[in-house]
């Protein structure tokens, strides 16, 4: 058994330059950029010729372009705002800017319907270390084998020590298709749910239901609700490989997907049933239990930086989805009582993110988690937008700090990644002459060929 996986891995050859996360517009762009064989096709992956996976050498971080940003945001859909969008769209009075999101959404959904794919962690020829195809299996994105000074290496996966090089994505991760499947599930699921809500075509609900059943529920294709083999660092014999605590982060996009699922459920369509809701809630309940009781999950919960924030944001959102309002409150309070203080200083800087290779990228990212947590908190009657930590700092203080740095000409990271936080701030706090979020948004849109125009989340984060 162990041999067969090894022999697959040994076939991998070595080339291709590395990419840094900041070269890319989004997680999807990352997968797209690695996807030379086109879209995920379960049949060719399981029966085709051996996949060739290429190692590069971790390069120096560089910036290629300031692109617009796309789909998956850890978020909670604001149904009231989406309803306004629907009314304006239906009456032909939607703004040109939001019309771009509608047009772009319609194009994507048409393509989803035409391709008619399903996604599942089981659609892979590379089984996880325990050989059970129902487990999510991914490579730690910044992990690299160090074969320097070693001779006669046949298989860098198992013969070289591995270590992390912050910000440098290893393209070999492409060979493990779970991340790809989950990312595409979330992207397509959110697009389909939003389209069903806005345009009322039941084909979209039908496809949404197929995608969800295939990934979570169907007995042949479901994913086991844990991340035991997420962000594996492949050191030593492959049946000893373990996931890392950071792998818990990989599920953060589920928040938006669950929110999209609630949107579908409340339209009382004909495909997504109460039974499906029950099954998905059970899945989430089990996954939440794994997050709270497994070694990896508990360790991730102790992380002080964005990993900890995403951990508590997920617990808050998952608890809300399964109807455990107290669970949401507990998660939010635990975050506020433990790591919030160390994350934002009085001047609004986020020291734990600023020390990363891509410091602004990670500063935005932590606020993505905090912002989504605040939205889930709000849904159970807690307002944490203005709760200050012991340095008298809030989400807003952190956003204000980043405006200056994002607009600085010294910034080499994609400023479009900051737009969701600016949109949120404009909504929650409003513009002032000192901190004019609306004005910062238009500056960044100008710099980035549209920035967030076309993105689906703009339809419910609009002002």
Ligand X SMILES: *[C@@H]1O[C@H](CO)[C@@H](O)[C@H](O)[C@H]1NC(C)=O
The two tokens of residue 31 are: 């997968």
Calpha distance 375→75 (Å, rounded): 8
Calpha distance 291→297 (Å, rounded): 4
C-beta of 228 vs 306, nearer to ligand X: 228
Under rule CB under 6 A, residue 432 binds ligand X: yes
C-beta of 262 vs 431, nearer to ligand X: 431
Under rule CB under 6 A, residue 328 binds ligand X: no
C-beta of 103 vs 266, nearer to ligand X: 266
Q: What are phi and psi of 229, to 5 degrees?
A: -120, 35
The answer to whether 454 touches 101, Cβ cutoff 8 Å, is: yes
Integer angstrom CA distances of residue 191 from 82, 223, 366, 368: 13, 21, 24, 19
Name the one residue in this structure whose structure tokens are 């979330």.
186
Under rule CB under 6 A, residue 386 binds ligand X: no
Calpha distance 375→387 (Å, rounded): 13
Under rule CB under 6 A, residue 295 binds ligand X: yes
Among 155, 378, 379, 436, binds ligand X (CB under 6 A): 436
Q: How far is the CB of 442 from ligand X (least distance, A)?
A: 6
Calpha distance 210→169 (Å, rounded): 32
Q: Which stretch binds ligand X (CB under 6 A): 18-26, 53-61, 407-415, 434-442?
A: 434-442
Calpha distance 74→196 (Å, rounded): 20
Under rule CB under 6 A, residue 88 binds ligand X: no
Under rule CB under 6 A, residue 439 binds ligand X: yes
Q: Which stretch binds ligand X (CB under 6 A): 25-33, 260-268, 337-345, 361-369?
A: 260-268
Among positions 223-252, residues that touch ligand X (CB under 6 A) are 226, 228
The answer to whether 215 touches 181, Cβ cutoff 8 Å, is: yes
C-beta of 84 vs 113, nearer to ligand X: 113
Q: How far is the CB of 440 from ligand X (least distance, A)?
A: 9
DSSP code of 60?
-
The radius of gyration computed from the CA coordinates of the chain, to the nearest angstrom, equals 22
Sign of CA dihedral 383, 425, 72, 369: negative
C-beta of 30 vs 311, nearer to ligand X: 311
β partners of residue 14: 55
Build a one-symbol-per-residue string for 97-136: x at contacts with ligand X by CB under 6 A, - elsewhere: -------------x--x--x-x------------------
C-beta of 110 vs 302, nearer to ligand X: 110
- Give residue 381's region: left, alpha or beta (phi > 0; psi -120 to 50): left
Q: How far is the CB of 228 from ligand X (least distance, A)?
A: 4
Calpha distance 175→13 (Å, rounded): 12
Under rule CB under 6 A, residue 26 binds ligand X: no
Q: How far is the CB of 15 from ligand X (least distance, A)?
A: 33
Under rule CB under 6 A, residue 170 binds ligand X: no
C-beta of 14 vs 45, nearer to ligand X: 45
C-beta of 136 vs 311, nearer to ligand X: 136
Build a one-symbol-per-residue string for 183-212: x at contacts with ligand X by CB under 6 A, - elsewhere: ------------------x-x------x--
Calpha distance 461→463 (Å, rounded): 7
Query: How many CB atoms within 10 Å of residue 247?
Result: 26
C-beta of 49 vs 268, nearer to ligand X: 268
Q: List residues near ligand X by CB under 6 A.
A: 110, 113, 116, 118, 201, 203, 210, 213-214, 218, 226, 228, 266-268, 295, 326, 392, 431-433, 436, 438-439, 442
């Amino acid at each position: 058994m162990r041999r067969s996986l090894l022999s697959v891995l040994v076939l991998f050859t070595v080339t291709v330059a590395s990419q840094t996360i900041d070269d890319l517009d989004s997680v999807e762009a990352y997968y797209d950029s690695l996807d030379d064989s086109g879209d995920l096709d379960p049949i060719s992956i399981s029966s085709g010729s051996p996949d060739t996976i290429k190692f590069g050498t971790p390069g120096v971080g560089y910036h290629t372009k300031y692109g617009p940003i796309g789909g998956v945001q850890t978020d909670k859909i604001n149904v009231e705002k989406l309803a306004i969008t629907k009314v304006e769209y239906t009456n032909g009075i939607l703004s040109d800017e939001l019309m771009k999101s509608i047009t772009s959404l319609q194009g994507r959904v048409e393509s989803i319907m035409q391709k008619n794919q399903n996604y599942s962690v089981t659609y892979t020829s590379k089984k996880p270390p325990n050989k059970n195809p129902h487990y999510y299996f991914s490579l730690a994105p910044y992990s690299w084998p160090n074969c320097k000074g070693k001779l006669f290496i046949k298989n860098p996966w198992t013969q070289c020590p591995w270590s992390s090089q912050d910000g440098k994505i290893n393209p070999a991760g492409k060979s493990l298709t779970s991340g790809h499947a989950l990312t595409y599930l979330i992207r397509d699921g959110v697009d389909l749910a939003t389209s069903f809500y806005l345009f009322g075509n039941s084909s979209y609900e039908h496809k949404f239901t197929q995608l969800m059943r295939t990934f979570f529920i169907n007995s042949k294709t479901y994913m086991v609700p844990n991340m035991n083999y997420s962000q594996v660092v492949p050191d030593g014999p492959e049946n000893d490989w373990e996931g890392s605590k950071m792998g818990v982060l990989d599920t953060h996009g589920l928040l938006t997907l669950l929110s999209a699922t609630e949107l579908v459920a409340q339209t009382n369509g004909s495909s997504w049933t109460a039974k499906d809701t029950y099954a998905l809630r059970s899945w989430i309940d089990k996954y939440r239990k794994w997050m709270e009781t497994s070694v990896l999950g508990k360790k991730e919960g102790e992380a002080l930086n964005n990993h900890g924030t995403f951990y508590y944001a997920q617990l808050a959102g998952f608890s809300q989805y399964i109807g455990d309002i107290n669970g949401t409150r507990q998660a939010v309070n635990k975050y506020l009582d433990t790591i919030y203080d160390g994350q934002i200083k009085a001047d609004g800087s986020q020291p734990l993110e600023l020390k990363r290779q891509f410091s602004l990228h990670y500063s935005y990212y932590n606020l993505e988690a905090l912002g989504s947590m605040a939205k889930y908190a709000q849904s159970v009657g807690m307002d944490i937008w203005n709760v200050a930590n012991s340095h008298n700092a809030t989400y807003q203080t952190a956003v204000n700090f980043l405006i200056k740095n994002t607009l600085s000409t010294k910034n080499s990271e994609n400023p479009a990644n900051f737009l969701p936080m600016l949109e949120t701030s404009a909504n929650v706090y409003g513009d002032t002459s000192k901190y004019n979020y609306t004005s910062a948004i238009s500056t960044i849109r100008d710099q980035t060929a549209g920035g967030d125009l076309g993105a689906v989340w703009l339809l419910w984060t609009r002002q």
